[in-house]
Amino acid sequence: DIQMTQSPSSLSASVGDRVTITCRASQGISNSLAWYQQKPGKAPKLLLYAASRLESGVPSRFSGSGSGTDYTLTISSLQPEDFATYYCQQYYSTPITFGPGTKVDIK
Amino acid sequence: QVQLVQSGAEVKKPGASVKVSCKASGYTFTGYYMHWVRQAPGQGLEWMGWINPNSGGTNYAQKFQGRVTMTRDTSISTAYMELSRLRSDDTAVYYCARVGWYSSSGGKFDYWGQGTLVTVSS
């Protein structure tokens, strides 16, 4: 199974801050990586797929990069509605696995 | 517009079974694989498996092999996930999620159901 790790596990930031979350896979996943945002009591929402492709309707302040085993999610200017938990997911092989999540809260 | 609407919350006793439904609308149900993901209270996301709505073929996570059954009814565009021999640690929100690429078993999960809380308690 491919293990996914994320760092940090949580962070505090202010509106307008640039935020970066990293995700590492235990083996290469050929950019088969998605990022999701989840707010309390809600289903996850797809932000990016194929490591760097923005899902339709998602604001351009979200971006993704990386290759091989290491990937990043960047929010260029944090907005009030961005406070949430973020998960990475590999879909390179089954079992599909998710990172443990990064909680972004208000400083 | 694509929608996945799940059945309501369930309370079950240990050892019982639960069957959660996921009704799809707004797209060709048989064209897109459906996955099931669960989330225990305060925890992360855990993949359970997928079903091919066209063929009925399935692929389950090893952890759930022998306890989970995923089925579908194409006449009503609905996928089902049944989990048997429930334990207290099966208490979780269960989600269905559609793969966003036609006829592909893997890929981005572009649409999710609203979630179904299953509580296992004696």
> Is A57 near chain B, with CB under 8 Å?
no
Edge-to-edge strand list for the sheet holding A70-75 = A4-7, A19-25, A70-75, A62-67
Residue A106's pLDDT band (cuts 50, 70, 90)? confident
> Is B104 near chain A, with CB under 8 Å?
no
Long-range pairs, B109-112, Cβ under 8 A, ≥24: B109/A34, B109/A36, B109/A44, B109/A46, B109/A89, B109/B35, B109/B37, B110/A46, B110/A55, B110/B2, B111/B2, B111/B3, B111/B4, B112/A43, B112/A44, B112/A45, B112/B4
pLDDT of residue B102: 83
> Considering only alpha carbons, which residue of chain A is nearest residue B39?
A43
Residue A107's pLDDT band (cuts 50, 70, 90)? confident
Residue A92's pLDDT band (cuts 50, 70, 90)? very high
Q: Which of left, alpha, beta for A66 (phi over 0: left; psi -120 to 50: alpha)?
A: left
What are the pLDDT digits (tens) for A39-82?
999 999 999 999 999 999 999 999 999 999 999 999 999 999 99
Residue with tokens 């979200």: A62
> Is B68 near chain A, with CB under 8 Å?
no
Which residues in chain B show pLDDT less than 70? none
**Pairs of residues, one from chain A and one from chain B, whose beta carbons lie less than 8 Å apart:** 57
User: With an 8 Å Cβ cutoff, are A94 and B107 in contact?
Assistant: no
User: With an 8 Å Cβ cutoff, are A91 and B108 in contact?
Assistant: yes
Q: Per-residue pLDDT averaged across A22-45, rounded?
A: 98
Q: To the nearest whole number, what is the mean pLDDT of chain A? A: 97
SS3 content of chain A, % helix, strand, coil (to 5): 5, 50, 50
Question: How many other β-carbons are positioned within 10 Å of the β-carbon of residue A32?
Answer: 20
User: With an 8 Å Cβ cutoff, are B35 and A43 in contact?
Assistant: no
Q: How far is A100 from chain B (nearest CA, A)?
A: 6
User: Distance (Å, rounded) from C-alpha A71 to C-alpha A84?
Assistant: 19
